Amino acid sequence: MATIKTIASMIVVACCASTAPVLAQSDNPDIAVTLNHVGVYVTDLKKSTTFYEEILSLKQIPEPFHDGKHTWFTIGKAGHLHLIEGGKKQYERDRNDHLCFSVKDIDAFIANLNKHHVEYTNWPGTAKEPTVRVDGVKQIYFKDPDGHLIEINNDTSVK
- Asked if pLDDT for residue 10 goes beyond 70, the answer is no
Q: How many residues does the chain have?
A: 159
Q: Which residues pair with 131 in a beta bridge?
A: 139
- The pLDDT assigned to 2 comes to 46
Q: Which residue has the higher pLDDT, 88 or 85?
A: 85
pLDDT higher than threshold 70 for residue 12:
no
* Half-sphere exposure of residue 104: CA atoms within 13 angstroms, side-chain side: 0
Domain ranges across the chain: 90-159
CATH superfamily of 90-159: 2,3-Dihydroxybiphenyl 1,2-Dioxygenase, domain 1 (3.10.180.10)
